[in-house]
Amino acid sequence: MKIFVFFLALSGLVGAVFGGNFYKDFDITWGDGRAKILDNGKLLTLSLDKSSGSGFRSKNQYLFGKIDLQIKLVPGNSAGTVTTYYLSSLGSTHDEIDFEFLGNLSAEPYILHTNVYAQGKGDKEQQFYLWFDPTKDFHTYSILWNPLSIIFSVDGTPIRQFKNLESKGVAYPKKQPMWIYSSLWDAEEWATRGGLVKTDWSQAPFTASYTNFNALACTTTASCSANSWFSQALDITGQQRIKWVQKNYMIYNYCTDSKRFPQGFPPECSLV
Ligand SMILES: *[C@@H]1O[C@H](CO)[C@@H](O)[C@H](O)[C@H]1NC(C)=O
């Protein structure tokens, strides 16, 4: 009996499955009633009006994981709004893995902005258009974070990989547990066409919706390596998909922005 209990306790350390109910996995952290959990925990909505946006944060901190979240972005004229979905630790040397969705005028394309911070340093932006209208339906936005790489995916299609190149002197997030965050806020100073198009407050409140959070993740490093996602890398199909996305939908890549790096590109740019 003792041995049985011991094994149960051990298996608790081997990555866990989270999801299915926003009440269980998240806290609404700001927005004074503008964020709502609905439908017995199956749906979450964030809203933004002239006085405030809103946001939520996971109850757990995770160290590595495979995280899926379905989002339906602000429809119609969403210019000036930013919907964020990211992992982050705290402090000046924090790590962060970012998805940000920059709104636009009706029928104009959203920009999906991505970035990675390791030990407080970001500056690794890549931006994409999407191959569908992200305001019509829910779509799945995923982060696979393991010691080998960080893979950003949209509806199962990988769009970006940030490899662990610590052996070449590139910092990689792997020691600081991160929370999952999301928010909807106003950034009319820069979000849409670099700030040219402002928020139309007559359209407020703006609303983004969330469903089907699903994470295979570790809240502790112990035995996490037993999970298959822990050593998952991009397969050939994945590499082909990334190439397709980067060729057809990538609109900004810090690794090709020579104005920004007159002294030469960061080391990871020549190693991917
Ligand atoms: C908004 O639409 C304009 C015009 O099509 C485009 O240049 C821009 O990249 C789009 N997205 C954002 C967030 O500005």
pLDDT for 116 beyond 90: yes
Instruction: Look at residue 140 and tell me whether its pLDDT is greater than 70.
Output: yes
Distance 139 CA to ligand 1 centre (A): 20
Residue 78's pLDDT band, with cuts at 50, 70 and 90, is very high
d(CA 21, CA 108): 33
Closest CA to ligand 1's atom 5: 108
Cα distances (Å, whole numbers) of residue 197 to 102, 114, 133, 204: 12, 21, 20, 16
Residue 251: pLDDT band with limits 50, 70, 90: very high
Tallying the residues shown for the chain, one arrives at 272
Bridge partners, 41 (sequence order): none
The span from the CA of 71 to the CA of 73, in Å, is 6
Summarize the confidence of residues 135-144 as an average pLDDT: 98
Q: What is the CA radius of gyration of the chain?
A: 19
Active site residue 268: no
pLDDT of 13 > 80? The answer is no
pLDDT value, residue 8: 40
Asked if 105 and 117 touch (Cβ cutoff 8 Å), the reply is: no
**Looking at ligand 1, which residue's alpha carbon is closest to its atom 12?**
192
SS3 content of the chain, % helix, strand, coil (to 5): 20, 40, 40
Mean pLDDT for the stretch of residues 60-82? 97
pTM of the model: 0.93
Cα–ligand 1 centroid distance for 163 (angstroms): 29
The pLDDT of residue 2: 47
Domains annotated on the chain, with CATH: 14-270 (2.60.120.200)
Q: Is 108 in the pocket of ligand 1 (CB under 6 A)?
A: yes
Query: Which DSSP category does 194 fall into?
Result: G
Atom number, ligand 1, closest to the C-alpha of residue 102: 13
pLDDT in tens, 38-57: 999 999 999 999 999 999 99
191/224: higher pLDDT: 191
Q: Supply the residue whose CA is at minimum distance from atom 10 of ligand 1.
A: 109
| Ligand 1 pocket residue status of 198, Cβ below 6 Å | no
Distance, CA of 44 to CA of 40 (rounded, Å): 10
189 given a catalytic annotation = no
Give dist(CA 203, CA 186) in Å, integer: 13
Q: What is the mean pLDDT of residues 86-101?
A: 97
Residue 272 is predicted with a pLDDT of 57
Question: Which residues partner with 55 through β-bridges?
Answer: 30, 183
Average pLDDT over residues 247-271: 94
- Kindly state the tokens that stand for 70: 């379905």
Q: Where are the beta strands (DSSP E) in the chain?
A: 16-19, 26-30, 36-38, 43-48, 54-58, 65-72, 81-88, 96-102, 111-117, 126-128, 139-145, 149-154, 157-163, 179-186, 206-217, 250-253
Residue 3 C-alpha to ligand 1 middle, in angstroms? Answer: 61
* Distance, CA of 210 to CA of 226 (rounded, Å): 30
Phi and psi, residue 166, nearest 5°: -60, -35
Counting from 1 in the atom list of ligand 1, the atom nearest the Cα of 193 is 14
**pLDDT surpassing 90 at residue 17:** no
CA of 108 to the centre of ligand 1 (A): 6
Q: What is the pLDDT of residue 5?
A: 42
